[in-house]
Structure 1
């Protein structure tokens, strides 16, 4: 990007407070990426064995991007894997004293391939294992010692792998899951460089978590038409138990961590927009809830000798650690600078959709604010959660009210709500969005500008469909990484996206007044100022979709701006170090239409 971006004042809220959380193998240390001030991303470490841990920044020479994966070692240093197209650089960052300007860096190797995953190690001499995916469908495993030494290749496996769960306290047996049809569990012996099938789980059971000491395993299996959580022993002692009350928990259930003794299981349960932290006793099959304020739990967690550590966020609380003691009492750990005074609160509100209520997260007053934006999430099987969002915070600080709805197709509201768009992308969900647009127009009245649209990925596609379906409801639209149609994406999208289209019926045509949901066919109906943003290295939606759309729109009217982000991925808002893309979106939406329109 060559154009200079004008930023808001120093009092604007932070853009990327904390992302990419990881724990060391035994959980003493945690690390993430954080944004100090409004500059580049920086690695940050916590010593969770400390009674009052505080964040320690590790400033690297060039700074980090959202594609950097930080992995803390049990020695208190940090491994950074900087992902790149076909080339992934591994760097050891030695912790510097508090107050030091930068940390010592040692590049330990470059791994080449389609992708790299890092699993934190627990054995002495194994700070982590790196798994590199080759173009031939094979995976190579390397040992990273945690010293300034090159990676040691220890095994080559004849398939792609995911996961990584340690089965023994010595840190020699790692359970992995094969990727592809009929996924299975295999066990890598890191001391011998061999892999075998485990004694359990077997068949269609998938290993989720393990307590290495007592050998307790948590699995998932498809039983009676649904996935159920099971408990069994590592050495195959007895059949798998599927606790009745555990599997009756309502909501979207995410297992987080097993207690070291193997008796209690921590669960994040999403109901509607918020998360609940539950502790389930696997012996008694009983559950208690940990009292946390309304917010969202991240999937990263660790349960160790000092207690359970989870990551929690709320609209006015950036992501941070919560320590839960043995009695289930939570305590928020300090995370450095307190942003609370500069962050806008949000609330949950119900609107009338086209076929029933639609819940939305709302910042500001959409009826009386100077400007308002309707923000559409990606997916379609996704949802807005009651969590910190840097874009929404910056818009709210600029006086723009935000309405972020979970229209039909969103998760967290039951099967009927989620499956309403199966075979009907841009059908029931579009009807909900248009109904919300009409409600906002009525609430704002004739003297205020009509609501604006924002969307990313599937939300970008849906926002542009809304702009075409009823252009007079909207004043402008900003979209990130849109695709042209389900049929077009099925032609050139990557394999996981094509599988999603097939599963959700994304190529099916809708026969109504609007006609086929093809954005190129509908460009003549999009009569409003548009900003289109797309990363040129997007691995999910090819950038060619936005290029073709921009070319067609530019010929139809001159109210379109196209911003292609060099090196940007599927989330180019956070792929750059200086926040320029986020600034462009906020500037475009914060400007609003001319007065009197």
Structure 2
């Protein structure tokens, strides 16, 4: 259910920079950088009560536009800041009328060949740990930056240049990354954090195609995939099932001619029913952003207007099939709008430009607390 929204932020030099709205995996809390211009501060949203509400977490000085925030399941917010040659990490929390801050430590830039800055990965499903990724020219480091015993610690170094970041289970053990080796194509791989970052192939549609994992639902095994296998040079949105040897499918309805489409939330609780899962999609065109709803079992993409002030690209499904979209306006600074899935009879999904995945069914998600692959 985790998602993030990209908003426009303006730094001191006038350049546009991204601001993210991050939601915990259990949907209880969210966090973002709020404010205008250079007067930025961390803001925590509570989403699991009768009404959503926001708590500002300002400190004595405004936050830098490049700061990154990530909510934890206990209500604290992790903040990552750039400080000279280091990346520092702290936990923020409300304490009376003030903001409490617990420093966690720092990571020196360029450590072990890493890039100059660490990027926070989506909230871990366990709600207590937080991870960051540092991309170097030949390798990628994964760091546990919150939830460890002794401050930030490097947990894995992976050969190749990685991006993305999708959790494959409910325990925070298995992480999918999109990796490029040398000058080859991008392929999604599975990283086992309980086995020292052991890497195994997760998705390959053809040998030459770029195959990225965009979203995954551990309950049903539904995967949302971006690949240029059916249309070289242009990424298409498709779907598959973790642990299945059925082909990846690229429905025509997910290729509108006048908009870009990106999935951001999958309906949870549909155990072993991937074709029944509702998927929320962010749709972007010159006129703005709106919402798409789609199920693998349907031939239709339902398009709906988003609420005014929607933090575009953020939202979460309830198990009952209500899509909750966070929004902020001058009159409602913290709102959550619910959209119901339109009723429609299920139809068999058409197989369009089929490409067979190799080796989705061989992903090493077995044993311990993880699931998928041969364990399915």
Give the TM-score normalised by the residue count of structure 2.
0.72
Q: How does 1:78-157 map to 2 (within 5 A)?
A: 78-84=77-83, 86-97=85-96, 100-113=97-110, 114-124=116-126, 126-134=128-136, 137-146=138-147, 149-157=150-158
- The answer for the alignment partner of 2:215 in structure 1 is 209
Indicate yes or no: 2:311 matched with 1:287: no
Question: Are 1:43 and 2:42 matched, yes or no?
Answer: yes
Which segments of 5 or more consecutive residues in structure 1 lack a partner in the other structure? 1-15, 329-597
Give, in angstroms, the shift of residue 63 of structure 1: 2.9
Change (3 A) 1:107 1:295: closer
Aligned to 1:257: 265
What is the match of residue 251 of structure 2? 243
The count of aligned residue pairs is 308
Q: Distance in 2 between matches of 1:208 and 1:155?
A: 22
Structure 1 CA distance, aligned partners of 2:283 and 2:328? 14
String of CA shifts for 1:66-98, please: whole Å, max 9, x gaps: 11101111111111000245421111223324x
Q: Is 1:227 the equivalent of 2:241?
A: no
Worse overlay, 282-291 or 159-168: 282-291
Inter-partner Cα distance in structure 2 for 1:190 and 1:71:
20
Alpha carbons of structure 1 residues 279 and 64: separation in structure 2 relative to 1, 3 Å: same
CA displacement at 1:192 relative to structure 2: 1.3
CA drift at 1:325:
4.3
How has the CA–CA distance of structure 1 residues 46 and 208 changed in structure 2, closer, same or farther, with 3 Å as cutoff? Answer: same
> Is residue 308 of structure 1 aligned with residue 316 of structure 2?
no
Say which is worse superposed, 124-133 or 109-118, in terms of deviation. 124-133
Residue from 164, 188, 191 that aligns with 1:188 = 191
- Which whole-Å CA distance do the structure 2 matches of 1:221 and 1:215 have between them? 18
Q: Is the 8 A contact 1:45 1:56 kept in 2?
A: yes
| Larger RCO of the pair (alpha carbons < 8 Å, separation 6+) | 2
- CA distance in structure 1 between the aligned counterparts of 2:150 and 2:58, rounded to whole angstroms: 21
Task: Return the alpha-carbon distance in structure 2 between the equivalents of residues 140 and 288 of structure 1.
Answer: 40
* TM-aligned CA deviation for residue 249 of structure 1: 6.1
Work out whether residues 76 and 95 of structure 1, in 8 Å CA contact, stay in contact via their aligned partners in 2.
no
Pairwise CA distance, 1:39:
7.1
Q: Report the secondary structure of 2:255's partner residue.
A: helix
Q: Which residue does the alignment assign to 1:52?
A: 51
Asked whether 1:21 is paired with 2:55, we answer no
Question: Judging changes above 3 Å, is the alpha-carbon distance between structure 1 residues 270 and 317 closer, same or farther for their aligned structure 2 residues?
Answer: farther
SS at match of 1:245: helix
Q: Quick one: structure 1 residues 149 and 304, their matched pair in 2 at CA, closer, same or farther if it must change by over 3 Å?
A: farther
Q: Write the distance in 2 (CA, Å) between the matches of 1:125 and 1:211.
A: 16
**CA drift at 1:221:** 1.8
> CA 1:171–1:304 in structure 2 vs 1: closer, same or farther (change >3 Å)?
farther
Q: CA separation of 1:253/1:140 partners in 2, compared to 1, >3 Å: closer, same or farther? A: same
Once the two structures are superposed, residues 288-329 of structure 1 have per-residue CA deviations (whole angstroms, 9 ceiling, x without a partner) of 233435777623444355843445578x8898654334446x
Contact 2:187 2:203 in 1 (8 A): no
Stretch moving more, 44-53 or 137-146: 137-146
Higher percent of residues as helix: 1
In 2: Cα distance, 1:47 partner to 1:280 partner:
27
Please identify, of 273-282 and 116-125, the stretch whose mean Cα deviation from structure 2 is larger. 116-125
Q: 1:87 to 1:305 in 2, by over 3 A?
A: farther
* Aligned counterparts of 2:221 and 2:179: Cα–Cα separation in 1: 22
- Provide the rounded CA distance (Å) in 2 between the counterparts of 1:249 and 1:210: 25
Deviation of 1:244 (Å): 2.6
Q: 1:200 aligns with which of 198, 203, 225?
A: 203
